[in-house]
Amino acid sequence: MDTQSLRARADELMAQFERMRSGVGELQQKLRSVSATVTSDDGLVTATVGPRGQVIKVEFDPRIYRRPNSKELSATVTETIRRATDKAMAQVEELCRPLLPDAQFQAHMDHDLEGIFRQLDADLPGDDRT
């Protein structure tokens, strides 16, 4: 990689860093306020989760006691929380996506450390000494 290419890449990385740094306070505030509420298909369970998918609240419609079935209730609660978590994570993704390149972003969202390191390695200039 020549000096001009290295300088261009360094400028690109600095611009990316400045975008991230300038918007980090606002982003943190927005991320902290992310929540998602989903109601089960039968309308009997409502789950609210926070930005990391943590359960904030689970509500049961009183009609749920008319036909008690613990296995069905467990499955409904689990599925409702999963859907709420997916919805919250989509909001987090939408907020964070502009700050990272696509490959790096997806690796972060998937908690894929190998992918993150591969992307970082790909961003470094090659060793031309052979």
Q: Which of these, 70, 65, 46, lies nearest to 57 by C-alpha position? A: 46
Is a pLDDT exceeding 70 seen at residue 119? no
Residue with the larger pLDDT of the pair 15 and 110: 15
pLDDT digits (tens, 9 = 90+) for 31-48: 899 999 999 999 999 999
Instruction: Identify the burial level of 64 via C-beta atoms within 10 angstroms of its C-beta, where 0-12 means exposed, 13-18 middle and 19 or more buried.
Output: middle
Sorted by where each starts, the structural domains of the chain and their CATH numbers stand as 28-123 (3.30.1310.10)
Question: How far apart, in whole angstroms, are the C-alpha atoms of residue 14 and residue 126?
Answer: 20
What does the pLDDT read at residue 121?
Answer: 67
Q: What digits encode the pLDDT tens for the residues 61-111?
A: 999 988 889 999 999 999 999 999 999 999 988 887 776 666 666 666 666
Confidence grade of residue 129 (pLDDT, cut at 50, 70, 90): very low
Given pLDDT bands bounded at 50, 70 and 90, which one contains residue 124? low
Per DSSP bridges, beta strands 55-60 and 36-39 are unpaired
Per the structure block, which two tokens stand in for 83?
């859907």
